[in-house]
């Protein structure tokens, strides 16, 4: 069972080695596993050509949780996030070992269709990236692509419901056929989230979704995340520690491609067990 192999201890510094020494004899960090996970990473390593960006990461994502991935720039947060829905497949020279188990099925296996997989795991990027189409067509794009609706009236309903849930409906209902790019940055990001939830994904991956937004737009997205977590699991990369503390149920701290510590957000921010985590959250590093 390749998934359950004990992770190699990190070699790059004594703090990393000390951190890895806390792994239990099963090879998993305390707090990395949950009951009935929705998604599990098992012994994931990711390489860009011969540079290793992620080393032996094993962790679970629970149903209906918001999990924050934090750590200094370059520690591998985006790489790991993109490993969950096989977005790294299209990056030249990128290689993934280990596996990701989604609802009991390994996703890195011959025969898995990455497009179908991505319909179940939506992703929202740092920079809002609406398509150069109308507001309506942005939200309708996924349901059309994946053949989720048969009738125009049904599509209209999905578009309206998705815009309602992101709090955008009242702002755009009179200009649905205007270009999405005419919206403000915060509205564009909520539109991208509406586009993502229109296909009813089970998991929503978010890579620093608020870093280009002002505090008001950020607050709206954070309250939207709490609402979405009732039906979805959310994994959010954030460099904003207040945001991680405000919105997430659990937090995972990464350093140089290693998962150093994972636990409830309260525990990570109040009583971190690792000096690397503490240095980061107290601003001594990164
Ligand atoms: N497409 C790529 N090609 C080569 N190296 C990459 C690529 N993307 C990321 N990396 C490298 O992988 C490491 C992790 O990057 P990344 O996942 O973007 O970190 P983070 O999101 O935590 O800032 C970094 O050393 C980065 O330079
Ligand atoms: Mg990143």
- Does the pLDDT value for residue 11 go beyond 70? no
Structure tokens that stand for 35 in this block = 């009951």
pTM of the model: 0.91
Ligand 1 pocket mutation, candidates 50, 74, 92, 211, criterion most atoms within 8 A of CB: 74
pLDDT at 187: 94
CA of 207 to the centre of ligand 1 (A): 13
Which stretch of DSSP H or E encloses residue 280?
Answer: helix 275-281
User: At 25, is the pLDDT very low, low, confident or very high (cuts 50, 70, 90)?
Assistant: low
Q: Could you tell me how far CA 184 lies from the centroid of its own chain?
A: 24
Task: Tell the burial category of 171 from Cβ atoms under 10 Å away from its Cβ (0-12, 13-18, 19+).
Answer: middle
Question: Six-digit token pair at 57?
Answer: 């990461």
Q: Which atom of ligand 1 is nearest to the CA of 46?
A: 12
CATH number 3.40.50.2000 given to 2-129+200-281: no
232-244: per-residue pLDDT in tens? 999 999 999 999 9
Strands 51-61, 39-48: pairing kind: antiparallel
Q: Which of 23-32, 63-72, 151-160 has the lowest mean pLDDT?
A: 23-32
Neighbours of ion ligand 2 (CB under 5 A): 78
Cβ neighbours for 106, distance < 8 A, ≥ 6 positions apart: 99, 100, 112
Altogether, the residues listed in the chain come to a count of 286
pLDDT digits (tens, 9 = 90+) for 171-219: 999 999 999 999 999 999 999 999 999 999 999 999 999 998 889 889 9
Question: What percent of the chain has a predicted confidence (pLDDT) above 70?
Answer: 93
Take atom 1 of ligand 1 and give the residue whose Cα is closest: 91
- The domain locations on the chain are 2-129+200-281
Please work out, in degrees rounded to the nearest 5, the angle formed at the alpha carbon of residue 202 by the alpha carbons of 134 and 262: 120
- Tell me the two tokens of residue 17: 């080695």
């Amino acid at each position: 069972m390749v998934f359950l192999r004990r992770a190699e201890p990190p070699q790059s510094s004594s703090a990393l080695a000390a951190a890895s020494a806390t792994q239990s004899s099963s090879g998993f960090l305390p707090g990395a596993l949950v009951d009935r996970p929705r998604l599990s990473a098992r012994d994931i390593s990711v390489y860009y050509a011969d540079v290793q960006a992620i080393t032996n990461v094993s962790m679970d994502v629970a149903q209906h949780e918001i999990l924050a991935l934090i750590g200094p720039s370059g520690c591998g947060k985006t790489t790991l996030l993109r490993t969950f829905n096989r977005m790294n497949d299209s990056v030249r020279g990128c290689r993934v070992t280990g596996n990701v188990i989604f609802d009991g099925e390994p996703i890195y296996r011959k025969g898995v269709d990455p497009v179908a997989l991505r319909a179940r795991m939506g992703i929202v990027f740092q920079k809002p990236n609406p398509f150069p189409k109308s507001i309506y067509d942005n939200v309708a794009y996924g349901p059309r692509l994946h053949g989720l609706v048969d009738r125009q009236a049904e599509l209209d309903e999905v578009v309206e419901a998705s815009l309602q849930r992101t709090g955008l409906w009242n702002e755009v209902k009179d200009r649905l056929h205007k270009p999405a790019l005419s919206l403000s940055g915060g509205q564009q990001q909520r539109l991208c989230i509406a586009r993502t939830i229109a296909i009813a994904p089970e998991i929503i991956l978010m890579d620093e979704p608020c870093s280009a937004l002002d505090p008001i737009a950020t607050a709206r997205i954070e309250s939207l995340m709490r609402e979405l977590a009732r039906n979805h699991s959310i994994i959010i990369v954030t460099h904003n520690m207040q945001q991680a503390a405000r919105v997430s149920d659990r937090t995972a701290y990464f350093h140089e491609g290693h998962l150093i510590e994972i636990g409830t957000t309260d525990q990570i921010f109040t009583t971190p067990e690792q000096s690397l985590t503490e240095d980061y959250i107290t601003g001594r590093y990164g």
